[in-house]
């Protein structure tokens, strides 16, 4: 493994480790110096110039004291100052120490071989012992070892004695070997430090991967729990109207009095409508979750939306004995008219559902270049700790028994999803027992003249004598649609595939199920029949498919789309649209 750092960041971390090791080992180095100096004093006291030797000892003591002060300062200010500056300061101290020991070797080694050898052994011991502590930062070792050995080696070379010259050569060879060994040791230390960095990084990555895996597992568990809640809630809430419808059908089968059958038929219609509303909520939720929405924003007069919703909810409010008021406004907002109306419809419906006394107020307030459309109610309110939960799917306050009259628990989740798709922030504030206020923020639009109302003259008269082809692989669905349309005067042809339909007379319009036999689609069936009867043949799709990817595909083909179950008035409106004469 290379001892070179991989990048500037690693280089800085490596230098920090080296400086830390230098200062951590410094006290043991200074203790060794003191021990060596004491031993030399005992050996040379009788053989050297004592004042000069004392002066050397004092200089060594002062230098050691200064170096200890540097170590103490480093410990107090470990995180302050440049690492290079700390390393440089230590290296200067090591160089001065090596210079003092070299001066000692040059001045006090003496002419006697024994004295020379004694001083040489002490210096060699210091130089060799410093390899382990100073080679961690190679410049510090080099500036200590060279000035410590070279003076005594040069003095020995000047001697005419063969022994002394041999000693000089040995000293020079020794210091060269020590420098090489220190360099190799430095590379090993650097490699070990870098390896430790890599191990720490690996541990960090493993820890992060473990955390990500844990988070992913928790997310998967939450998603699985949410799916379980979804299936349980949807199953319960869809079974309720289905059970009611089944019981009403059984009751009707045993009833012979036409007058007694009329309320049963009404209740059957209500049960079917409830089931349709629940399915619509599930489909809206699926579209939002998969991003199948394509908002078309423009400047929309809000009062027209208010009037439609007031007409829609006024009977419901009157039935509960509640006041419902939409404050008239001339303001326009930049939004998708249909999606915004859906948001407001869910908020008003939710307010009426959870209000037993008082009423509901809907108003629009200007906020600079933005608008705040607010729905106020005097209902049960929302506890502060639940404000963050009300927009979650299937979350309902005070409905543990899953009373379907309080909805499926998707209304506010749909509001949140639609608002996010439109970029309209939704906020809520509430006081338990006093009521709640939901506010939708949207950009302020330019006022424009409202379009003149168009009379909706929809009736079955336009359908008289027109031929409609129904393509569906389910025989019961084909027969039910035919039974519904024939009283309107429509001539209905039935087929389970495009191939079977080609043998039938040319229709005026086609109603095709999206999912047909053998993996074929209604889009393909329409294309086949248009190639046979003409490209302008009106057509629409009817589907019970809830896969948002399939819904996007159907809409991308450009055909009108109705979701099953389809009420009679919607089917009549669709046929009226398909069969209207060209302008």
Residues 334 and 351 in one domain: yes
Cβ neighbours of 416 (radius 10 Å): 18
**Pair 426, 439: CB distance under 8 Å:** yes
Instruction: Enter the DSSP assignment of 581.
Output: P
187 and 270 assigned to the same domain:
no
User: Final residue of a domain: which of 289, 317, 345?
Assistant: 289
Residue 283 covered by a domain: yes
- Owner of token pair 């042809």: 493
Q: Are 281 and 418 in contact (CB under 8 A)?
A: no
In a domain, 226, yes or no: no
In this structure, the answer to whether residues 285 and 302 fall within a common structural domain is no
Contact 490, 463 (CB under 8 A): yes
Determine if the peptide bond prior to 565 is cis (ω within 30°). yes
Same domain? For 261 and 406 the reply is no
Residues 370, 481 share a domain: no
Q: How far apart are CA 360 and CA 316, in angstroms?
A: 12
- b/e for 172-199, b at 16 or more Cβ within 10 A? bebbeebbeebeebbbebbeebbeebee
Instruction: Tell me whether residue 340 is in a domain.
Output: yes
Rounded to the nearest angstrom, the gap between the alpha carbon of residue 122 and the centroid of all alpha carbons in its chain is 67
Per-residue DSSP letter, 520: -
Domain harbouring 518, CATH code = 3.40.50.2300
DSSP code of residue 49: -
pTM: 0.45
556 and 530 in a single domain? The answer is: yes
Tens of pLDDT, residue by residue, the chain (583 residues):
444 445 677 788 888 888 888 888 888 888 888 888 888 888 878 777 888 888 988 998 999 899 889 888 888 886 666 888 888 999 999 999 989 988 888 777 766 767 777 788 888 888 888 888 888 888 998 999 999 888 888 887 777 677 778 878 888 888 899 999 989 988 988 888 888 888 888 888 898 888 888 888 887 777 666 566 555 555 555 555 665 666 666 666 666 677 777 776 776 766 676 666 566 666 666 666 656 567 778 899 999 889 888 887 888 888 889 999 999 999 999 998 878 888 898 899 888 988 889 999 999 999 999 999 999 999 888 888 777 767 766 555 544 434 444 455 567 877 888 888 889 999 988 888 889 999 999 999 887 654 444 444 445 677 888 999 999 988 888 888 888 888 889 999 999 998 999 889 999 999 999 888 888 889 999 999 999 898 889 999 888 765 556 666 776 787 888 777 777 777 887 888 888 775 5
Is 396 exposed, middle or buried (CB count within 10 Å of its CB: 0-12, 13-18, 19+)? Answer: buried
Residue of 374, 357, 356 lying closest to 365 (CA atoms): 374
Residue 415 belongs to domain spanning? 298-445
CA distance 381 to 434: 6
The last residue of one of the domains, among 207, 237, 267, is 207
- Asked which of 150, 180, 207 is the last residue of a domain, the reply is 207
For residues 260 and 325, membership in a common domain is answered with no
Residues 51 and 87 in one domain: yes
Backbone dihedral region of 543: left (phi > 0), alpha (psi from -120 to 50 degrees) or beta? beta
Residue 45: inside a domain: yes
Distance, CA of 448 to chain centre: 41
pLDDT given for residue 458 in this prediction? 47
In-domain check, residue 25: yes
**Are 256 and 365 found together in one domain?**
no
Instruction: For residue 192, give the 3-state DSSP assignment.
Output: helix
Whether residue 167 is contained in a domain is answered as yes
Residue 223, domain member (yes or no): no
Instruction: Please list the residues that pair with 440 across neighbouring strands.
Output: 373, 426
Q: How far is CA 454 from CA 299, 449, 450, 458, 568, in A?
A: 20, 15, 12, 11, 22
Residue with tokens 């009259």: 405
Q: The domain spanning residue 436 has which CATH number?
A: 3.30.565.10
Query: ω into residue 353 within 30 of 0, thus cis?
Result: no
- What pLDDT shows up at residue 282? 62
- The number of beta carbons lying within 10 Å of the beta carbon of residue 444 is 17
Same domain for 536 and 556: yes
Do 425 and 562 lie in one domain? The reply is no
Q: What is the DSSP string of 94-156?
A: HHHHHHHHHHHHHHHS-SSHHHHHHHHHHHHHHHHHHHHHHTTSHHHHHHHHHHHHHHHHHHH
Residue 128 token pair? 């060799």
Backbone dihedral angles phi then psi of residue 5, each to the nearest 5 degrees: -65, 150
CA pair distance 266, 566, nearest whole angstrom: 17
How far, in Å, CA of 511 to CA of 522, rounded?
9
Closest by CA to 471, choosing from 521, 518, 436, is 521
* 302 and 285 both lie in a single domain: no
Spatial distance between the Cα atoms of 24 and 74, rounded to a whole number of angstroms = 10
Instruction: For residues 200 and 89, give the distance between their C-alpha atoms in angstroms, rounded to a whole number.
Output: 30
pLDDT number for residue 190: 87
Number of separate domains in the chain: 4
Residue 235 lies in a domain: no
């Amino acid at each position: 493994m290379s001892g070179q750092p991989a990048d500037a960041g690693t280089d800085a971390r490596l230098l920090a480790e080296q400086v830390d090791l230098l200062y951590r080992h410094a006290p043991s180095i200074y203790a060794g110096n003191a021990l060596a100096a004491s031993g030399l004093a005992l050996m040379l006291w009788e053989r050297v110039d004592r004042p000069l030797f004392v002066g050397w000892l004092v200089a060594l003591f002062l230098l050691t004291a200064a170096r200890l002060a540097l170590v103490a300062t480093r410990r107090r200010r470990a995180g302050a100052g440049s690492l290079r500056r700390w390393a440089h300061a230590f290296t200067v101290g090591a160089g001065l120490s090596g210079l003092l020991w070299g001066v000692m070797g040059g001045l006090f080694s003496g002419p006697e071989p024994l004295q020379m050898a004694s001083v040489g052994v002490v210096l060699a011991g210091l130089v060799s012992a410093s390899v382990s502590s100073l080679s961690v930062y190679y410049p510090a070792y080099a500036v200590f070892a060279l000035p410590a050995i070279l003076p005594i080696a040069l003095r020995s070379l000047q001697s005419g004695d063969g022994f002394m010259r041999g000693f000089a050569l040995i000293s020079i060879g020794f210091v060269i070997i020590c420098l090489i060994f220190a360099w190799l040791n430095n590379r090993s230390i650097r490699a070990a430090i870098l390896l430790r960095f890599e191990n720490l990084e690996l541990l960090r990555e493993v820890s992060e991967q473990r955390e990500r895996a844990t988070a992913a597992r928790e997310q998967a568990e939450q998603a699985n729990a949410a799916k379980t809640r979804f299936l349980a809630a949807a199953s319960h809430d869809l079974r309720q109207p289905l059970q009611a419808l089944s019981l009403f059908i059984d009751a009707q089968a045993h009833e012979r009095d036409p007058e007694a059958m009329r309320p049963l038929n009404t209740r059957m219609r209500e049960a079917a409508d409830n089931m349709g509303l629940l399915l619509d909520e599930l489909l809206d939720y699926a579209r939002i979750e998969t991003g199948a929405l394509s908002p078309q924003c423009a400047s929309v007069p809000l009062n027209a939306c208010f009037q439609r919703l007031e007409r829609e909810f006024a009977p419901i409010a009157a039935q509960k004995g509640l006041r419902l008021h939409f404050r008239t406004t001339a303001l326009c907002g930049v939004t998708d008219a249909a999606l915004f109306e859906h948001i407001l419809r869910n908020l008003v419906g939710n307010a009426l559902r959870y209000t037993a006394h008082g009423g509901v107020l809907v108003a629009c307030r200007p906020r600079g270049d933005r608008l705040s459309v607010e729905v106020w109610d005097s209902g049960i309110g929302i506890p502060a700790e639940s404000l963050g939960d009300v927009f979650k799917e299937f979350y309902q306050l005070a409905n543990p028994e899953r009373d379907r009259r309080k909805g499926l628990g998707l209304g506010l989740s749909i509001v949140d999803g639609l608002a996010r798709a439109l970029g309209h922030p939704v906020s809520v504030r509430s006081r338990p027992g006093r009521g709640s206020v939901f506010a939708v923020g949207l950009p302020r639009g330019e006022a424009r003249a409202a379009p003149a109302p168009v009379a909706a003259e929809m009736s079955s008269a336009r359908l008289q004598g027109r031929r409609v082809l129904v393509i569906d692989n389910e025989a019961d669905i084909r027969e039910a649609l035919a039974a519904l349309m024939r009283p309107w005067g429509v001539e209905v042809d039935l087929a389970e595939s495009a191939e079977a339909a080609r043998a039938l007379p040319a229709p005026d319009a086609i109603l095709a199920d999206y999912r047909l036999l053998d993996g074929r689609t209604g889009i393909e069936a329409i294309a086949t029949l248009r190639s046979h009867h003409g490209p302008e043949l009106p057509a629409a799709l009817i589907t019970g498919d809830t896969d948002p990817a399939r819904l996007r595909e159907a809409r991308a083909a450009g055909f009108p789309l109705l979701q099953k179950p389809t009420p009679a008035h919607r089917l009549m409106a669709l046929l009226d649209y398909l069969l209207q004469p060209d302008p």
